[in-house]
Structures are given as C-alpha cells and as structure tokens.
A = this chain, B = another copy of it.
Amino acid sequence: MLEDKAPQLTPISAYGEFGLIKHLTESFSFENESTEVSIGDDAAVINPGNQKVVVTTDVLAEGVHFNLGYVPLKHLGYKAVVVNLSDIAAMNAVPTQILVSLAISNRFPVEALEEIYAGIALACKRYKVDLVGGDTTSSTSGLVMSITAIGLESSENIVKRNGTKPNDLLVVTGDLGGAYLGLQILEREHAVFLANPNMQPEMEGYDYILEKQLKPEARTDVKKILEELGIKPTSMIDVSDGLSSEILHLSDQSKVGFRLYEEKIPMDSLTISTADELNLNPAMCAMNGGEDYELLFTISPDDFEKIRNHPDFTIVGHAVDLDQGNFLVARGSNELIALNAQGWDAFLNK
C-alpha cells in the first residue's frame, strides 16, 4: 500500500487542486464521438444524437465497500468504474462517459491517486468509455469514490425493471456467489496477516473467486448477445446485492412474484468448494452475497427455445402472480422458502 510518507512519494499539496486533476487525467484519450467537451470546462458536453441518456451513480467508501489492507488501489479504481457500467448494462444501454469524484485523505501521496487513476484508465479502455469530468478533494479521513456513468440508447432498446409478466422466465448470466466467497478468503487471510505479519497468505487456487471480488467485469457484452438471439428482456437488473434482493426489486417494480429454483442457480465449482471449506451454504452465498455484477432478466416464455442451451445464460426460475409471493424452491425437497432482502447492506455491515 502506498500510504506511508516515504520521502520519494509526492504529497498531494505539491500539485494543488487544478494541477492534480490535470496531472491525473491528461493521459486519457476519447473513444466516443458523443464526447464533445471534456475535463477543463465548467461541465462536460455530450451529444446524444437522437438517443436517450441513461445515467447512474454509485459511491464506494473505505472501510465499508473496500479495505485498503487487501484491495490494491488500481483494482479499486477499476472496480469503481465497473459497478457503474454494470448499472448502465442493466438498462440494456451502451455506456459512453464517466465522471469521477474522489475525497481522499492527505495521508495518500499523489502516487496512490495515480494507481487509482491507472485502474480507472484501464476500465475506460476496456469498456470504451470516456472520462469527461470529476472533482478531487481532500477529506478528513479515508477515501470515498463517487462515480457517475452515462450511457446512450434508443428508446425502444432500454429495458427497465417493470416489464415482467407472470410466466416470464427468470434468467441470469454467468455464475454467482464467487465475489462473496472471494471476499471471505481475502478477509480470512488479512486477519491471519494482522495476527502474524510473517505468515504467507494462502491465496493460491482461489484465483477465480478473488478476481470476481477484486476485478469484476460489467456484462456490457450481454446486450449484443441478446440482440443476436432476437431477444429483448421484459425487465433487467444487475446482481450487485445478491440474487434474492434483486428478485425482490423486479417483483416490486413489475408487480409479479417469482419462483427461484435452488438447483438451477449457476455456481462455479471453486465457489462451491470454497463455500464447503468455510462451512457456508453455496446457494445462500449466491442469493445474499452480492457483488457478482452479473445480469438478471426476464424474458417472454416464447423466447425459451432461443436461450435454453446458451452457455452464457441460465434459466433459474419464472414469474408468477404477485399474490403468490417470492419463494426459493429448495433442492430435493421442493420446500418453499420465502426470499428476503438480506442483500449486502452498507449500513448494517458496520
């Protein structure tokens, strides 16, 4: 971690506010024709053409969303962008621009900010989005990052949360629970390190779930896959707080209930074995863990054949009438277990 005050590191005050933003952002280039005015004016100017503007914001706070004891700053910058792009993808829109606000304690040198911005730059490049604005300030303690992401999309392509009808199929991308178990491993090894700094952390073999936690990806690819399949989801949301709570959001907005089949929940074998190792129920990790940034969506039952064998998608349940409620159908027993929003809650986690 770049937090000490070794003499070769540069204090933020060496640059001043304007110089700092310029220094951190001058290497960024632009990918989108819609970016007309960027950093350096009072505001950015975006040309939406004939499209709608989709905009979202997420804030990440040190000690709540991340622990700098085991989250590298570059990964943090990358992830902060990704979680916002995931929200744009969940509207079935194409992300185009981001704005980055940072409040950061003076204990961080300029080199720490450079690391964060290196992660932001990597995400911008990977997802072809332009950094068009932001603000950087000192804070009395800790690090808070707030990112706003903008996407453009034609009206007819945008997918909200309120279009699900009873009998629609519930589909999820990728696999779930990995990010949560990656976090458990990081926390376990960090605790070991704090107890005995000479112990080597045992991270080997956990690569997939550590990457799901530290360097998640936004499923901006799903939009194109669905278009090629000729499918427009009836509702869509990203899995940031856990499958259970996302299903309840769709239920709330679409006025339907859901049946989720435990045996259908897609999980990687490493996720399952790590859950077993930690005495956790793998399905509960997928349902309540969160931070997977996969997409959860519903489709008309007429589209079943188009999607049934597609490797990127898993049908995990279906919508029912609202008065039938939201239930997990347990593996084997078919017992109905009420879904609840245990989703990762920043205010309770403290």
Contacts and interface: CB of A to CB of B under 8 A. Distances in A.
Interface of A: 12-13, 15-18, 20, 36-37, 40-48, 50, 52-65, 87-88, 90-91, 93, 97, 99, 101-103, 106, 132-142, 144, 146, 148-151, 155, 158, 160-162, 236-238, 245, 249, 253, 341, 343, 345-350
Contact of A42 (B36, B50, B56, B134): B56
Given A17-B347, A142-B140, A53 B61 contact: no
A245 B59 CA distance: 30
Q: Could you say how many copies of this chain the assembly holds?
A: 2
A13 B93 contact: no
8 contacts: A41-B162, A43-B54, A57-B133, A58-B101, A59-B137, A61-B139, A64-B103, A137-B347
Given A63-B140, A161-B40, A133 B55 contact: yes
Nearest to A246: B42
Contacts of A106: 347, 350
A99 B97 CA distance: 15
A235 to B, nearest CB: 10
A60 B348 CA distance: 25
Nearest to A139: B61
Contacts of A136: 59
Contacts of A20: 347
B146 A101 contact: yes
A20 to B, nearest CB: 7
A44 B54 contact: yes
Contact of A135 (B45, B59, B150, B162): B59
Given A59-B146, A146-B146, A43 B138 contact: no
A125 to B, nearest CB: 21
B88 A43 contact: yes
B61 A140 contact: yes
Contacts of A18: 245, 249, 341, 343
A158 B106 CA distance: 36
Given A37-B160, A40-B253, A161-B40, A347 B45 contact: no
B350 A138 contact: yes
Contacts of A142: 139-142
Contacts of A64: 103, 137-140
Nearest to A90: B42
B91 A43 contact: yes
A213 B253 CA distance: 42
B99 A42 contact: no
A148 B151 contact: no
A217 to B, nearest CB: 16
A126 B18 CA distance: 31
B137 A57 contact: no
A99 B55 contact: yes
Contact of A161 (B42, B158, B238): B42
Given A55-B99, A148-B148, A61 B137 contact: yes
B158 A45 contact: yes
Given A40-B161, A103-B146, A106-B350, 13 more contacts: A13-B348, A16-B347, A41-B162, A41-B253, A43-B90, A43-B149, A44-B55, A45-B158, A47-B53, A53-B53, A57-B99, A57-B146, A63-B139
